[in-house]
Homo-oligomer: A and B are copies of this chain.
Amino acid sequence: MEVIYDRDRLRQYRSGVPQPVGFIPTMGSLHEGHLSLIRQARKECKTVIVSIYVNPLQFGPGEDFERYPRDLERDVSLVKEAGADGVFAPTREEMLPRPSITKVTVSGLTDRLCGASRPGHFDGVATVVTKLFHLIQPDRAYFGLKDAQQVAVIQRMVEDLHMPVTIVPCPTLREPDGLAMSSRNVYLSPSERERALILNRSLEEATRRWKTGEWQRGTEAARYLRETITSEPGVELDYAEVLTYPGLEPVESFHKEEFVLAAVAARVGSTRLIDNRIWQGRE
């Protein structure tokens, strides 16, 4: 497996590999969730390329860009073990040789949920993913559904800009106790780790109730999530919303929607965590 640091070598490498090319963009600090994306790509593609790049454009002021966990050596060995063919690990200089005055924005979809709490976040995501797509030219790109809004934004961007790539959304992986895997979980103290379980537990119980048909509108399910999470001491709710997926519009009636996203975000100590469920029709 080759580790590539610069764009020139990447273009050269890319032009010589067999297609289809599968691509997994990451910010490193890899966990089983990322590795499951690599394994999925391995099954479907002749070449699998992983990028490792902590994208400054998607962090707001006061967010954790500086302290975001980085360990390239460990990441590279995990990627290799998972079966990738190449790693693209550019420096900031290589990705941003000068200030980028060009931005890709997806309006509407990005002003709610995490977009409301993190202004500019999705512009940064859309812009860097566009750059990576241009550099790597993948046929298929794999994204985890823990970031369900991100998947919706990227999917819409790809369609609107007629990008020649297929987006493959993949299921969220969880720790044995149900906590959604995230690179930010390492920030949690043991007691915070315990309290963080309320995110998954509330979504689990909401899914059960939604199945019974006791709720008609998205706002009823969202109220349940909001109240449950707010009642947990040491957990500060950011949002709890139940919207259509991938359109992210209000759910007037669960019976009318094919897919619905129940999404929550909360701060546990100083760590911001997100989790969700996607409900398909009425089971």
A102 partner, pick from B101, B102, B131, B160, beta carbons under 8 A: B160
Instruction: Give A160's nearest chain B residue, CB to CB.
Output: B102
- A234 CA to B54 CA, complexed, in Å: 57
Q: Which residues of B contact A164 (CB under 8 A)?
A: 11, 134-135, 137
Q: Are A156 and B105 in contact (CB under 8 A)?
A: no
Q: Are A160 and B105 in contact (CB under 8 A)?
A: no
Distance between A147 CB and nearest chain B CB, rounded to angstroms: 18
- A126 CA to B105 CA, complexed, in Å: 12
- A31 CA to B101 CA, complexed, in Å: 33
Interface residues of A in 95-118 (CB under 8 A from B): 100-109
A7 within 8 Å of B by Cβ? yes
**A binding-site residues for B, Cβ under 8 Å:** 7, 11, 100-109, 126-127, 130-131, 134-135, 137, 156-157, 160-164
Q: Which residues of B contact A100 (CB under 8 A)?
A: 160
Distance between A121 CB and nearest chain B CB, rounded to angstroms: 16
Among A102, A107, A130, A163: residue with most chain B CB under 10 A: A102
Q: Which residues of B contact A161 (CB under 8 A)?
A: 102, 104, 127, 130-131, 134
Q: Which 5 A-B pairs have the closest CB atoms?
A: A102-B160, A100-B160, A134-B162, A101-B107, A102-B106
